Structure 1
């Protein structure tokens, strides 16, 4: 059926690498995800190649697997931390606290105190209450304020509304930070995860440049840093442009906005470093129809929204799926194994899976290295968290 998108493994992985993963996975009970750490290393090296002047802070929330943290520690990466638990995980690998940023704008005082006691001096914020708490719990620290960016509906997984504040408030917060003894250090933004529109960075960078200029002219505050967050995409069902293209345009935007000298630039990649390195292996549990006349099959896998695939919510992230069957494709709904009716991954977007797909066959979900293990429930319906392996 030609209207279905044909998925070729070669568009996402070198065939030899995929076969290595399949061989490793052959006798292991599903579901689980396999991460090829060599791909993570390559993705990190590519980021440093195209943004040689930037400080790379890995977004630990994407995948806190010990082999990944160890690899990035050895590469002298920095780390964007969202909780005290992530800090503990990172410090266990010998990371020094001057390579850590507490990037969550929502945080408890006791956690800030713990970060400060251990030597962390770089904190994100977006509210007056948080700035005042930081001044008391982390005195003298460097603070950067996150701003709301323009509409980022062009991102597959938008991050607007919950985090950040309007530019006018950011101005006031940085002035307040200085008055309370903190160091007003910079501005951060996030254009949305899996952002396909490179122009989104231009809009945000121009907002930041305006704030830099106003704070210097009106308040005598010279900011030093821009944290541009993440947003760089991975290759899901619809492939994206190469990182080199993103870098060329974003660097051009930066030089246009800051023609004399660039501020310190921080990038916080998570998805773009890890997703392409992962393959989630699942098994078909059931194939059924909802009426005697229905042509459309329901394919139930042993993995679902509650075992790592929450980013299929609203069918936002569309993972490439391949099987060992080679026959003609047919329409299907793809759902998970739990007794929750929300556990349907793809119903409106029509995936085509081989018509001869059978119960017990394996489904390989490509580009699943990020936000799968960390989103997996502990024991919904008694199912254990998604198992992870690292090659």
Structure 2
């Protein structure tokens, strides 16, 4: 199955009118993320159709709103948890331990023991000491080894910090086996916001080579965790989620044995387009009379939910009361007293010239990695509020 931009669906490009209508009918005292649960379900079903036999393990870190977890449990989703807190959240809402994987490769010993007592049997690792910790505190567990893969062209690369090399992966499998664990398979992450499924090819080749080497070394692997990377719409065309997921799975089928277990961990691709932030302009100013760019300051910034503007990697879209009027470039910044709290400066944003203090600004497709990144109150600004409809 090949995804093309002809498969792109406008209905998946922008949030439903339901979000804008809800925001228009309400006043907010602070920046607020509004989530449409029905849209989350739509995305889940679209991805599940394309992924076919792969089990969806929703990346809880993308948005841990209990209402989202509850809806996904009802839909039959599994979950990728990065911490004890996320595990407790899922279990507390009724998720079965068998549906939860502890996917963080850096875990506290007490949290491994907690997960084991709770009935979780699947853990990630990428280092010898982590294997030792899991063997000691989750005896008999299944482990999958996360591989270090080269950058794929993703807008938000996830290389270097997590994963290990081919030879080390084989040593870790042997160590796990010798310590009574079951080395079940491999995992990787192609990089968040990988807009084109063709970008997966080279990464899958790397992983397939390690899989073959593991089989030749005598390991009977049966689990492949393809991670996340499923994109959301931020202004540049992406395939429909079903077509995208189908194209990825077609590439997996070309490289890996038939009948193995496959996990996928969509986060952004599941919830980003289900959310919209209602924000407010605090100030519009120029640094001098001949300054080419206005500075537009919002009541939300990097520390209150928009951390993914770091390096201007994720380019959010904005709706203002003056859309359709003349626009000009501006530097967009947050409200805090930290000079790093600038959202877009290298590539200024075109916003209406009439924009002024007090105007409401809507930020589209913000359902992922906003509320979960928001600080508890840097500079005394309240954390991002969340409303689920």
Distance across 2 between alignment mates of 1:23 and 1:377? 26
Aligned position for 1:119: 119
- CA deviation map 1:206-240 (0-9, x unaligned): 2332223222222x211011000000100013232
Aligned position for 2:135: 135
Query: Would the aligned equivalents of 2:49 and 2:242 in 1 still touch at CA under 8 Å?
Result: no
In the alignment, which of 301, 304, 308 is matched to residue 307 of structure 1? 304
Query: Would the aligned equivalents of 2:224 and 2:262 in 1 still touch at CA under 8 Å?
Result: yes
Where in structure 1 are there 5+ consecutive unaligned residues?
1-8
| TM-score in terms of structure 1 length | 0.93
Aligned position for 1:5: none
Task: Give 3-state SS (helix, strand or coil) of 1:312's partner.
Answer: helix
In the alignment, which of 347, 350, 358 is matched to residue 348 of structure 2? 350
The 3 A distance-change label for structure 1 pair 211 and 129 is same
User: What is the CA-CA distance between 1:335 and the residue it aligns to?
Assistant: 0.4
Aligned position for 2:51: 51
Matches within 5 A, 1:180-329: 180-218=179-217, 220-258=218-256, 261-326=258-323, 327-329=325-327
Query: Would the aligned equivalents of 2:50 and 2:243 in 1 still touch at CA under 8 Å?
Result: no
User: What is the CA-CA distance between 1:27 and the residue it aligns to?
Assistant: 1.6
- CA deviation map 1:143-195 (0-9, x unaligned): 0000011223x111111000000111111111111111100101000000001
Aligned position for 2:163: 164
Distance across 1 between alignment mates of 2:206 and 2:332? 42
User: What is the CA-CA distance between 1:10 and the residue it aligns to?
Assistant: 7.8
Distance across 1 between alignment mates of 2:201 and 2:20? 40
User: What is the CA-CA distance between 1:96 and the residue it aligns to?
Assistant: 1.1
Task: Give 3-state SS (helix, strand or coil) of 1:123's partner.
Answer: strand
Aligned position for 1:35: 35
Distance across 2 between alignment mates of 1:253 and 1:179? 33
- The alignment of Structure 1 onto Structure 2 pairs a total of residues equal to 379
Deviates more, 1:167-176 or 1:184-193: 167-176
- CA deviation map 1:68-101 (0-9, x unaligned): 0110111111110000111111111011111110
Query: Would the aligned equivalents of 2:328 and 2:350 in 1 still touch at CA under 8 Å?
Result: yes
Aligned position for 2:3: none
Distance across 1 between alignment mates of 2:161 and 2:48? 30
Task: Give 3-state SS (helix, strand or coil) of 2:193's partner.
Answer: strand
Matches within 5 A, 1:5-16: 12-13=13-14, 16=17
Aligned position for 2:378: 380
Deviates more, 1:247-256 or 1:99-108: 247-256
Query: Would the aligned equivalents of 1:12 and 1:366 in 2 still touch at CA under 8 Å?
Result: no
Query: Would the aligned equivalents of 1:55 and 1:78 in 2 still touch at CA under 8 Å?
Result: yes
Distance across 2 between alignment mates of 1:12 and 1:322? 14
Distance across 1 between alignment mates of 2:269 and 2:22? 20
Deviates more, 1:154-163 or 1:246-255: 246-255
Query: Would the aligned equivalents of 2:185 and 2:223 in 1 still touch at CA under 8 Å?
Result: yes
Query: Would the aligned equivalents of 1:254 and 1:262 in 2 still touch at CA under 8 Å?
Result: no
C-alpha RMSD of the superposition: 1.6
User: What is the CA-CA distance between 1:15 and the residue it aligns to?
Assistant: 5.7
- CA deviation map 1:27-74 (0-9, x unaligned): 222311100111000000011111120111000000000110110111
Query: Would the aligned equivalents of 1:212 and 1:222 in 2 still touch at CA under 8 Å?
Result: no
- CA deviation map 1:348-371 (0-9, x unaligned): 112111111111001110010010
Distance across 1 between alignment mates of 2:261 and 2:273? 28
Distance across 2 between alignment mates of 1:11 and 1:243? 8
- CA deviation map 1:212-270 (0-9, x unaligned): 3222222x211011000000100013232222332333222222213x51421100000
